[in-house]
């Protein structure tokens, strides 16, 4: 679809895990996995946006279009906006460069959700948490939604709280958020113009800025989400996930 641009922000100098986008996973760098998922989605053109020439050079080696952005940019979303602001695309996908197990179908489902809900500004995805270890893991972002499938809140804490007295406590699953966003172009422009919000700074989750300012985020539910790469230890976890996926 030519009205959609996929931007992959790939910050080499990540605070928690420098160089993670070029770390090898299953024989190829993390960023390559993300790029290939974007290609398979068929949703539109793709640009890798980075602040380091090493990533720029790697992108060129696999035939990917890439641009060098300022090291002073505060977030991946700012990098996405810089890459997209002078283009004419109606929809901008922020596919983060540390989500190697992103599936093309996940991107397409979220995109369809946004098309079906014209009053929403942003789309993303979630899946049921099946590994109980993830519930209390702050690197696994949880999400609570309303009946329309719109995000009410995102948190690093387990939400919604499952009270022992509630009959739903053992039945209702937790949902984890998949770290990508599909913006209507005007919504992206609005989002980056807003100052960082209190909840955003408390949880270190920039999507809370959108919710605090009344923006609507619609969420597609998908079957599975693989692990993102946040810390060095995640590479081993991702390798194990990959092995299990290949055995299925």
Partners of 143 in beta bridges: 154
pLDDT value of position 150: 98
pLDDT value of position 205: 96
Q: How far is CA 102 from CA 15, 55, 161, in A?
A: 22, 19, 28
Report the percentage of the chain scoring pLDDT > 70: 98
Average pLDDT taken over every residue of the chain: 95
pLDDT value of position 1: 55
The 10s digit of each residue's pLDDT in 193-236 is 999 999 999 999 999 999 999 999 999 999 988 888 988 999 99
pLDDT at 243 over 80: yes
Q: Which ranges constitute the DSSP H helices of the chain?
A: 30-41, 53-61, 76-84, 104-116, 185-193, 198-203, 207-212, 233-247
Report the percentage of the chain scoring pLDDT > 90: 89
In the numeric block, which tokens belong to residue 120?
């929403």
Sketch the domain layout of the chain as residue ranges: 4-247
In the numeric block, which tokens belong to residue 26?
């299953």
pTM of the model as a whole: 0.94
- Name the one residue in this structure whose structure tokens are 């081993």: 236
Residue 3: Cβ-neighbour burial (10 angstroms; 0-12, 13-18, 19+)? exposed
Measured from the Cβ of residue 187, the count of other Cβ atoms closer than 10 Å reads: 21
pLDDT at 188 over 90: yes
d(CA 171, CA 160): 13
In the numeric block, which tokens belong to residue 114?
């946004």
Q: Which DSSP letter does residue 44 get? A: S
- Name the one residue in this structure whose structure tokens are 């035939």: 63
Quick one: CATH architecture of 4-247? Alpha-Beta Complex (3.90)
Q: Which DSSP letter does residue 87 get? A: S
In the numeric block, which tokens belong to residue 12?
């080499």
- Band of pLDDT at residue 2, cut at 50, 70 and 90: low
pLDDT value of position 224: 83
pLDDT at 248 over 70: no
Measured from the Cβ of residue 165, the count of other Cβ atoms closer than 10 Å reads: 5
């Amino acid at each position: 679809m030519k009205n959609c641009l996929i931007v992959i922000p790939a910050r080499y100098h990540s605070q928690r895990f420098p160089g993670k986008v070029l770390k090898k996973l299953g024989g190829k760098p993390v960023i390559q996995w993300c790029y290939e998922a974007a290609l398979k989605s068929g949703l539109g053109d793709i640009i890798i946006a980075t602040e380091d020439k090493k990533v720029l050079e790697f992108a060129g080696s696999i035939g990917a279009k890439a641009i060098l952005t300022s090291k002073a940019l505060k977030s991946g979303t700012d990098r996405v906006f810089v890459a997209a602001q002078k283009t004419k695309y109606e929809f901008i996908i922020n596919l983060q460069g540390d989500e190697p197990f992103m599936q093309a179908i996940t991107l397409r489902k979220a995109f369809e959700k946004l098309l079906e809900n014209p009053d929403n500004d942003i789309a993303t995805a979630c899946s049921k948490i099946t590994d109980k270890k993830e519930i209390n893991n702050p690197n696994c972002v949880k999400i609570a939604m309303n009946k329309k499938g719109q995000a009410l809140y995102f948190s690093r804490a387990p939400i919604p709280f499952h009270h022992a007295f509630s009959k739903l406590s053992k039945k209702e699953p937790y949902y984890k958020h998949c770290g990508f966003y599909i913006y209507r172009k005007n919504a992206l422009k609005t989002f980056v113009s807003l100052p960082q919000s209190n909840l955003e700074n408390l949880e270190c989750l920039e999507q809370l800025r959108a919710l605090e300012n009344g923006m609507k985020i619609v969420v597609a539910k998908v079957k599975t989400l693989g692990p993102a790469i946040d810390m060095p230890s995640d590479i081993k976890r991702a390798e194990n996930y990959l092995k299990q996926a290949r055995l299925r």
